Structure 1
Amino acid sequence: MVAGILTKALFSLVFNKVHCAQGGRDNGFGNNYVWAGSLESGLQIATHHKKPVMVIIHKSWCSACKNLKPKFANSTEIQTLSKHFVMVNLLDEEEPKNHTYSPDGTYIPRILFISPKGSVDHDIYNEEGSSQHKYFYSRPEQIAKSMRKVLDKYKFERFDK
């Protein structure tokens, strides 16, 4: 009986912590999306729910970032696809210092996709973009194409092994 109550309390604590971590800021990318509060909480949620992660790394002073924000925010296609992702956007100093998140440079904006197991997927990039800046996206159609590619790639894999 006591073990059951403790298990239930622990589960509730963990669930509430994961659930509450979703309250991230949109930073101009749209409040119609559910944003994780941080990269760490996004990775935790992704692992728990077996979902891929979309990470947008951007800066407040960047004109290309400012240009992308309203296009992203108003894209119904990205909004629909985003329900299958854990969405993370990292502004200014939130950018990870780890080179894992800058596979071909530290340019911005940079959009990376992370597998449900937590590793950056180098196979998903803007195929219509520059070979020097593979993770730079300027149009919602490019982002949606990569999102669909991610969903196709991970649809048949099992992550409970």
Structure 2
Amino acid sequence: MCRRLLLLYFYCFACIFCQFFARADDETTDEAEKTNKIEPERPNNEAETDEFKDPSGGFGMDIDWVPWPQAVSVALDLNRPIFLLVHKSWCGACQALKKSFSTSSKRKELLELSNKFVMSNTNDEDETEDEEYAPDGRYIPRLFILGGQIWQTLSGGQQKKLPSNIAYFPQVPDVIRAMKMGLELFEKEQSGEKTEEGESDQKKEKEGGKGGGKE
């Protein structure tokens, strides 16, 4: 009887011992799998870091944004005007415009118009230093519709309202107005129609030609 009890105790102990080591082995396997799990590679230099940046700049991922360095080549390929918005992360007016982009009742119209442009924006250190994009100062936000001489003509749309801030379009209704103006001018140029600036330049060329003939 005692011998049977001893054998029974030994059998129970052996079962518990085996279960303990089996559980420990499972935990070790789980840890190994976690350790060997492939994590996404993180950028290790400045060039790679740019690829991880949010191209929307906070103005909505449902708009197809193109980084500014690629905007011109994309615009040439697609034959579209460029929408360039210059803003800063610390700018109160820029933050208000971001909010307007997401909450405006005209957002649907804005999205539809965006499909007719190459949409681009620059934020903080990404801003271009070219003076062409600061015709009357580096206030922010600044909006330009680019394509030939379009942005110069477009800027006149704000001259009466804000004569010293001709590229300032602070709310979505203002932005939509600018986009419509720019698109109309772009389409006129594409169809061969003369804009006011184009006519003025042509007139100057003719006058210059006449002067040259007299000499």
Q: Decide: shared fold, TM above 0.5.
A: yes
Q: Which residue of 2 aligns with 1:85?
A: 117
Structure 1 CA distance, aligned partners of 2:173 and 2:85? 16
| CA drift at 1:40 | 2.2
Q: Which residue of 1 aligns with 2:88?
A: 59
The answer for unaligned runs of 5 or more in structure 2 is: 1-50, 192-215
Q: Which residue of 1 aligns with 2:169?
A: 137
Q: Which residue of 1 aligns with 2:57?
A: 27
Q: Which residue of 2 aligns with 1:36?
A: 66
CA contact (8 A) 2:145 2:154 kept: yes
Structure 1 ranges of 4+ moved more than 4 A:
none
CA deviation string 1:65-88 (max 9, x = no partner): 001002123422211101000000
Identity %: 27
| CA drift at 1:49 | 1.1
Superposed CA RMSD: 2.1
| CA drift at 1:156 | 3.5
Structure 1 CA distance, aligned partners of 2:72 and 2:169? 22
Query: Residue type of the partner of 1:59?
Result: K
The answer for unaligned runs of 5 or more in structure 1 is: 1-20
Structure 2 CA distance, aligned partners of 1:36 and 1:73? 19
More helix by share: 2
Structure 1 CA distance, aligned partners of 2:189 and 2:138? 31
CA contact (8 A) 2:150 2:182 kept: no
CA contact (8 A) 2:150 2:186 kept: no
Aligned length: 135
Q: How does the TM-score come out when normalised to structure 2?
A: 0.58
Structure 1 CA distance, aligned partners of 2:177 and 2:79? 21
Structure 2 CA distance, aligned partners of 1:57 and 1:120? 17
Q: Which residue of 1 aligns with 2:144?
A: 112
CA deviation string 1:121-150 (max 9, x = no partner): 211135374110011112211111111111
Query: Residue type of the partner of 1:145?
Result: R
| CA distance 1:129–1:72, change in 2 (3 Å) | farther
Larger gyration radius, structure 1 or structure 2: 2
SS in 2 for 1:121: helix
Q: Which residue of 2 aligns with 1:149?
A: 181
| CA drift at 1:120 | 6.1
Structure 2 CA distance, aligned partners of 1:48 and 1:91? 25
